[in-house]
Amino acid sequence: MAGTVVNLKARTGQSEGLGARREIDLASLDFTNCPVRDVLQQIGGKWSTLLLEALAKQPYRFGELRRMIPDISQRMLTQSLRDLQRDGYIEREVFPTKPPSVEYRMTELGRSLYTVLSQLLNWAEANHDEVRAARLRFDADAV
């Protein structure tokens, strides 16, 4: 089972020490190969999960996605799709039609991710009210 302090150290790019006695070495913090952050940073983007949700259902073309998410800018749609493609979550196929058309579809890796990601999305939806209630309580106490 993951999720212990050992993983914490892995997250900050450190190797685990010998015991609990030794203080951690502050130098040489790399951060570039923290697996969790490396993945979460991507799907933590403003539009990533939205696109994954859409493409999990079926392939879509650029313009279709654009219409489905009217408040995304063209720039961010392109960039988000590129990033998802770069990480191997989605594929891009160009059809050499008269006006060129491009279709995006989810890969197996993407589906694998979406399987666990959707659990989190469902949780968020299901517990949103409780979170909002907690916020109201907190803000009230803070006067």
Judged by beta carbon distances under 5 to 8 A according to partner kind, the member of a second copy, DNA, none in contact with residue 76 is: DNA
CA nearest 58: which of 104, 112, 26? 104
Q: What's the token pair of residue 18?
A: 């010998």
Within 107-136, the residues that bind a second copy by CB under 8 A are: 109, 112-114, 116-125, 127-128, 130-135
Q: DSSP state, 143?
A: -
Question: For a second copy, which is the closer residue by CB, 96 or 125?
Answer: 125
Q: Is 63 in the site for a second copy (CB under 8 A)?
A: no
CA nearest 87: which of 62, 57, 59, 107? 107
Q: Is 79 in the site for a second copy (CB under 8 A)?
A: no
Judged by beta carbon distances under 5 to 8 A according to partner kind, the member of DNA, a second copy, none in contact with residue 6 is: none
Q: Is 86 in the site for a second copy (CB under 8 A)?
A: yes
CB neighbours of 59 closer than 8 A, spacing ≥ 6?
Answer: 103, 104, 105, 106
Q: Is 69 in the site for a second copy (CB under 8 A)?
A: yes
**Contacting positions for DNA (CB under 7 A):** 41, 45-47, 61-64, 66, 71-76, 78, 81-82, 92, 99-102
Minimum distance from CB of 133 to DNA (Å)? 21
3-state DSSP: the chain helix, strand, coil percent, rounded to 5? Answer: 55, 10, 35
